[in-house]
A and B are shown apart, each in its own frame.
Chain A
């Protein structure tokens, strides 16, 4: 079934030439069977309870990745060969399975145990080549009929990734959305052999570190946990990232205790801290209701253990809003 999904995705074209950006809803096949597809059309378009940002894009995982045009030259036409593609896929999956089994003997995630235990700063996503861009999906409100555009490409000298586009808060005239205007960049869920979902384990770290260069717009960082429980697909933890603008690189350190919980795009009254042992993806959203072009250059994304940060969770639950928690 995973192979069928891959074929639909078009990724079998011998890894040359452009990947067709067909919105073929590939994630339908990888989710469990009872998850209905209607949720893909209608994102959580209602505004969050008190946030000035819209958390709508985090709920969507459409494959409308708009990477800058990668037009193949006329000489190298991609050769499409069905059997060879299937063989390649099978080989790739068995290779991944072999890697997983072998890595288990070396240590967690294929690195020796003492390295993992003593690690205090880890680079999770870096942008040094085109294959690093493939780990991200870029969405905008075009999926609900809006007019924002967003593109992702490599920056100067292949040293950073540039996310740029135009935000337009013109509401789509479809009678059900009154507000619009968001763009998002979401990381793909890490996959193991046979497209099994894997997750990140950041339990020894406590701060998220981003080296970015923005244009003064406020972004929202969303972290989603592993979807082993079906309700978790709509839940995410978010916080704001304020960019300064200017030509200097900006280091943004957000401790994980500051992330607030939201479900279906609304901030919930019952807040709990983000547990770091099964993180599946991270995303950046821009929805600040200001029309115009934007850009965000990202150097790398890492996590580290800040020894000066001892807070466990930044938000208390209030007995007025949650009387049941305080019985």
Chain B
């Protein structure tokens, strides 16, 4: 391979990272300079083939130009992780405008929350004797930007206390109200895996905030209280890991009394304090 074609091959190597598709002009130039049977032309053909095969395989596509505004980015991120399309995004607080010195006020970070109607109903049904937890921050990568989100969830109810769902009567005989279609073709088909899936408690709401400290999240809870009045009776415990701001290496909200991994620390708050905040 001549040095010229080696150099041009290396130039052609750059596009795989940036997601650029080769087009007709490149093909014309390559044919003119190197010829139809040359290595750069081969690479061009391969790039065209494989890029077009892999262009749309991402089931969760993220737009290429991410919004610069943190509130918009938070909305995009929350919509990305919430599979329920009827969920409502609420902006509880936008980042305050910068003052003359150019530094943003650290206490006025943006808070954006999301909650779907199913989650709202579940929170209304939740037993006030069991506390709910604010866990986080968990990292979410959108292309090359990392955002952090917190979730409001309850622990799994032990099977003894789970309330049995009543099957309502069929009030319409013309078509079934509840349809439980199985995947199998007949009685012999069994597509279930022979393992107990990990069961976790229900998630009631999610939020993305600029700061990861308790004060900001408390403001989020207060904002949630407007749409979920039942939340005022339920004790909320904050299970936050790591310090605010910097990128965390391990982002799982574990409660480990034994030697924890280096970056994790915990803060727990008593529910009485939380109720005082709610009343003030």
Contact = CB atoms under 8 A, between A and B. Distances in A.
Interface string B1-37: 0000000000001001101000000000000000000
B198 A159 contact: yes
A102 interface: no
A268 B161 CA distance: 57
Contacts of A216: 60, 62, 80, 140-142
A299 B193 CA distance: 12
Interface stretch (A16-24, A135-143, A272-280, A288-296): A288-296
B249 A166 contact: yes
A67 B234 CA distance: 39
Contacts of B16: 47, 50-52
A297 to B, nearest CB: 8
Interface in B48-99: 49-51, 53-54, 57-60, 62, 77, 80-83
Given A240-B54, A318-B49, A164 B250 contact: yes
Contacts of B42: 321
Given A50-B51, A155-B252, A247-B81, A215 B46 contact: no
A299 B195 CA distance: 10
B153 A247 contact: yes
Interface residues of B, number: 58
Interface string B126-170: 000000000000111111101001010100000000000000000
Given A50-B16, A217-B141, A240-B54, A123 B195 contact: yes
Nearest to A216: B141
A242 B49 contact: no
B50 A215 contact: no
Contact of B141 (A121, A292, A318): A292
Kindly name the residue among A52, A157, A164, A216 whose own CB sees the greatest number of chain B CB atoms within 10 A.
A216
Nearest to B60: A244
A49 B50 contact: yes
A49 B197 contact: no
B254 A156 contact: yes
Interface in A113-168: 118, 120-123, 126, 149, 155-157, 159-160, 162, 164-166
A299 B199 CA distance: 10
A244 B149 CA distance: 14
B211 interface: no
A121 B153 CA distance: 31
B138 A269 contact: no
Nearest to A214: B141
Contacts of B218: none
In the complex, which range does the number of interface residues on chain A fall in? 35 or more
B180 interface: no
B237 interface: no
Interface in B182-214: 183, 185, 188-195, 197-198, 200, 203, 206
A307 B184 CA distance: 9
Contacts of B143: 290
Interface in A51-102: 51-52, 68
A202 interface: no
A155 B252 CA distance: 8
B188 to A, nearest CB: 7
Interface in B102-148: 138-144, 146
B46 to A, nearest CB: 5
B230 interface: no
Contacts of A165: 249
Contact of B49 (A50, A160, A245, A300): A50
Nearest to A165: B249
Interface string A201-212: 000000001010
B177 interface: no
Contact of A120 (B60, B142, B191): B191
B195 A126 contact: yes
Nearest to A242: B58
B47 interface: yes
30 contacts: A49-B47, A50-B47, A50-B54, A51-B16, A51-B50, A52-B17, A52-B54, A121-B191, A122-B193, A123-B193, A156-B200, A162-B252, A164-B252, A215-B139, A215-B141, A216-B142, A245-B81, A246-B80, A246-B140, A247-B81, A247-B203, A249-B197, A290-B143, A293-B247, A293-B249, A302-B195, A304-B191, A304-B193, A318-B49, A321-B42
Interface of B: 13, 16-17, 19, 42-43, 45-47, 49-51, 53-54, 57-60, 62, 77, 80-83, 138-144, 146, 149, 151, 153, 183, 185, 188-195, 197-198, 200, 203, 206, 247-252, 254, 261
Interface of A: 47, 49-52, 68, 118, 120-123, 126, 149, 155-157, 159-160, 162, 164-166, 209, 211, 215-218, 240, 242, 244-249, 267, 269, 289-290, 292-295, 297, 299-300, 302, 304-305, 307, 315, 318, 320-321
